[in-house]
Amino acid sequence: MRVHVIGLGGAGGRIVDRLTAERDGDRFLHGVSAFDTDMEALDRLESIGEDRRYRFGDAAGGDGLDGDLHAGRELGEVHASELGRALDDQRPSLAEAFVLVVGVGGAAGGGVAPALAAEIETLYDAPVYSVAILPTPAESDAESSSKDGGDGGSRPNDGSSPRRPLAERNAARTLGALSERTAAVIPFDTDAWLRPGETIADARDRLNGIVADRIAALFGAGESDADAVTPQQVLDASDIARAVGDEGDVAALGYATQAVEPPETESRFGLGLFGSSEPEKVDASAAVSAVETVIRKATRGKNTVEVPEGRADRTLLVVGGPPAWLNREAIADGRRWLAEETGSGAILSGDAPVPDGEEVFALVLRSGIDEPRRIREIRESIPGGGE
């Protein structure tokens, strides 16, 4: 699926900058942009070219909004058309979807995201998805925010974690708006991914890489190079769109890898001559074990957000790696196991051959999941849990 990925605000910009550093030139990444009110934050981006960064909101004076979501919403309504035009140089009409990456605890990204989603939907016949980076409880804990070394919920605030007392309330309002304005919301539970004793500042680069990898794994599925091995089960943009959904559902991504030995190639003539080679066969039991392992890890391991009881309305499975390791029976068995695990009435699947790969991987997308505990906590931070 060819996507235009837009980083909104500081967190969104950093994640899309990481995605660009690692994936610029990949077929799925049709375009990238970063929008923010904070000029210094935009200047710190390293991989998104200056022509793809855009500061909006002169009323903010080039700085951030200090958590004022109302001000962010007003700027979003005023500047949505302007930001839509800022995409024009990257031929957005050719994108098959748009992905807004935003830290929903903030004001600039969270404020503009709903209005920009509506503007894009008006201009282009393509779905808009949101990747919502959730704040941690410590960021909104007023007591821990006022004391260095305070408990801050599950982890200490030692001065290197951000202090944003409005973060959870902003997140509740922004998540509600994104569910109404975007085809699906893919939350990333920052708190669940922090290691014991780790601060957000310590973890930032690692977490940005995790989110960027998940975006690439999902939207890059089915977008292989023209000279790559043809998949046995081909995924196209409509398959991904059908799995993710179009009614503002919450979706979770699971991903797992296992290193394998790529099969050596030997010439048909025994001496590696004449440029004609065939891969050695892989032990079937080893291939089955690798495929089964990554599918179960991607499903039951840590997802971008908790999946209550593992269930989902729709599920997408992608298994990739060296072609000789993609055992068809194991993938079919994995698909049947996944249907039982999730209770999904709709299971879509495909494979992603990587001829020179050194690992087998599985991506599991579950959409239409029950409300995760962390999102319920955020929603309950304000009366009404949203608007």
CA atoms lying within 13 Å on the CB side of residue 259: 0
* Backbone conformation region of residue 238, classed left if phi is above 0, alpha if psi is from -120 to 50, else beta: alpha
Q: For residues 316-355, b (16+ Cβ closer than 10 Å) or e, as one string?
A: bbbbbbbbbbbbeebbeebbeebeebbebebbbbbbbbbe
Other CB atoms within a 10 A radius of the CB of residue 62 amount to: 13
Classify burial at 227, counting beta carbons within 10 Å of its beta carbon; exposed 0-12, middle 13-18, buried 19 or more: exposed
Q: What are the C-alpha distances in Å from 147 to residues 150, 163, 166, 197?
A: 5, 10, 17, 17
- Flag whether 170 is marked binding: no
Q: What are phi and psi of 358, to 5 degrees?
A: -125, 15
Distances (CA, A) of 92 to 89, 98, 113, 118: 8, 9, 17, 15
CA 301 – CA 95 distance, rounded (Å): 32
Smallest Cα–Cα separation from 126: which of 214, 33, 246, 12? 246
74 in a labelled binding site: no
Binding residues for GTP, as ranges, are 139, 208
Binding residues, as ranges, are 139, 208
